[in-house]
Chains A and B, each alone.
Chain A
Amino acid sequence: MWLKLAALLTRPATKYVFIALALVFPLVAQNEYQIYVMASAFVWAIAVYGLNIITGYCGQLNLAHGGFFALGAYTLGLLTADYSWSYWPAFVAALAMTAVVGFFVGIVSLRLKEHYFAIFTLCVGFIMYMLMDKWEELTHGPVGVRNIAPPNGFGLVDFTETTPIYYLVLVFLMLTMWFIGRLSRSLLGRTFTAIRNGDELAQSLGINLMRNKVLAFVLSTTFAGLAGALYAGMVRFIGPEDANVLHTFDMITYLLVGGIGTLSGPLVGTIGIVWLTQSLQFMEEYRMILFGPLLVFLVIFFPRGIVGSFLSWLHRRTQGKAEAAAKAQQSRDTTGRRVNNNA
């Protein structure tokens, strides 16, 4: 009974139910604030999807992710506020900026193995933070950037309102998930996963390590930039604190809680934790007292997070049942039902 119910969740049709829920959410929300919180959770989820590409699929812990998020936000903010670009060209420029910087950081940092890569990216993220904080002529320093243009609705919609921006962010989230879903099932996604299993093994399979790692890294930083640009257009005020490494740690927590390397994990983890911290107001400041031990607990006992653990459980159960059935019938032609591991 539970098994059947659980298996329903992995059906392709289930996603339409969730899309419908997301679409009606602003109608059932009790106030505007809830819509706003949900929209910001979606923005973070997009960034976490980016992190999942390089850290989840490819297995390289990137600690500069928050820096790239801020880079996207700053590119958009400065272009619209100081150089009077309109939103959408600046949006494209923000994506291009994070992709290009990601490419150059990638070709240097991805030659480094495991720990070195993590430490190197930690330093890169910090350099980004320092530049935003100290390079006052360009970034306004600690004061931050004000008067950022909202997304241009061409007179049709007003994106300074909460509900329209919610739907805008939702559209980008769905595009992101659609792309990542396709990526993770493709040969390219499998190539990334092979790299996570080990550099040596991947190379013995004829995989070009550098090219694939750099591609994964650029994809991940571009999604960080996309999230950053949406964030800047939504809050319309940014500062160097947006590049604080704590945001990277937040995103790692979302990813780990939801399920690293899974397709719906980033969304589940982000929405879950964002709402948890929102509902416990006092936690805003001290959330790390719970997050810290939570991270430790997860990597020790549930390294695959909510979604990963659920899928493993489901797979074992259906597989076990299928094999038992096959044995009972003593026939070779019954094969186990496959659970789509990409759910």
Chain B
Amino acid sequence: MLRIENLTKMFGGLAAVKDISVEFEANQVNAIIGPNGAGKSTFFNLVAGSHKPSSGRIIFDGEDITTLRCDHIAQRGVGRTFQTTNLFEQASVLDNLIVGHRLRTRSGLWDVLVNSRRLQQEEKLSREKAREALDFVGLSHVENRFIADITQEERKRVAFALAMATDPKILLLDEPAAGVNPEETDGLAQLIRKMKDHGLTVCLIEHKMDMIMGIADKIMVLDHGEKIAEGAPEQVREDPAVIEAYLGSDDDAAA
């Protein structure tokens, strides 16, 4: 599904991501963990095309996407969420989600001027997709509320729904459970499992170990930009290099 070959990203003279090779298989939940500053977010940015790698290749669904622009990568089926999602606070949840399906539509300025059939159909389709995605994340009941009026956890779900509305094949989730309480974390974990059940491939960065151990099929551990371990949760948990990396830094010691 997603194959990374010798991926390296240099910032100035420093390697934020160093020679990572890994393969994520379809219809699995893959987690990327590691101390702060290990290069996890940079790794996501490389896969999604926000940063261009210094060297290495990224193969998605058999196609080399290394040099593609982010919007083209999104069109190929790579959806993502961010640690914080900036939405239009004074508009309804549904209004915020309709644009999610924009990348699968084609109408432009001319269609707006003549109010073409294509535009009407595509708007209807985008609205349906938005409702579907909202239903999927279990928020149909707040579709008319303003973003400003929903809870932190509901915002997280709206961000998921927005990514879902793009019809992705793989979803990159950056710390999906940051800032929500343990109960809500369980809910989000269930949602991620549901994504997998619907045939999606999920890749997530997360600090909450309990959650990851519960849902991940495969874990990759990064430290100082390098891959120090990869494998099933039980395997990774016992890995001396991983324990060393975590004990060596204050961060996440509690996790």
A and B touch in the complex (CB under 8 A): yes
How many residues of chain A are within 8 Å of chain B by beta carbon? 37
A204, B163: Cα distance in complex, Å: 8
How many residues of chain B are within 8 Å of chain A by beta carbon? 44
Interface presence of B177 (CB below 8 A): no
Name the distance in Å between B33's Cβ and chain A's nearest Cβ. Answer: 22
Contacts of B100 in A (CB 8 A): 205
B144–A207 touching, CB < 8 Å: no
Name the distance in Å between B253's Cβ and chain A's nearest Cβ. Answer: 31
A215, B108: Cα distance in complex, Å: 10
Q: Which of B48, B88, B107, B112 contacts A204 (CB 8 A)?
A: B48
Q: Which of A197, A198, A215, A304 contacts B109 (CB 8 A)?
A: A215
B123–A207 touching, CB < 8 Å: no
A336, B88: Cα distance in complex, Å: 20
B90–A188 touching, CB < 8 Å: no
Closest to A179 in B: B113
A319–B74 touching, CB < 8 Å: no
Supposing A197-B88, A203-B50, A312-B90 touch, asked if A188 and B112 sit within 8 A by C-beta, the answer is yes
Give the interface SS of chain A, mostly helix, strand, loop or mixed: helix
A182, B120: Cα distance in complex, Å: 12
Name 6 extra pairs, CB < 8 A, besides A188-B111, A206-B72.
A186-B123, A187-B105, A188-B112, A203-B69, A319-B145, A335-B144
What are 27 A-B residue pairs whose CB atoms fall within 8 Å in the complex?
A179-B113, A186-B107, A187-B105, A188-B111, A189-B112, A190-B95, A190-B99, A190-B102, A191-B99, A198-B86, A203-B50, A203-B70, A203-B74, A204-B74, A204-B80, A204-B82, A205-B99, A206-B102, A206-B166, A208-B69, A209-B71, A311-B90, A315-B92, A322-B144, A335-B144, A338-B92, A341-B91
Q: List the interface of chain B (C-beta within 8 A of A).
A: 48-50, 69-72, 74-75, 79-80, 82, 85-88, 90-92, 95, 98-100, 102-103, 105, 107-109, 111-113, 115, 119, 122-123, 126, 144-146, 149, 162-163, 166
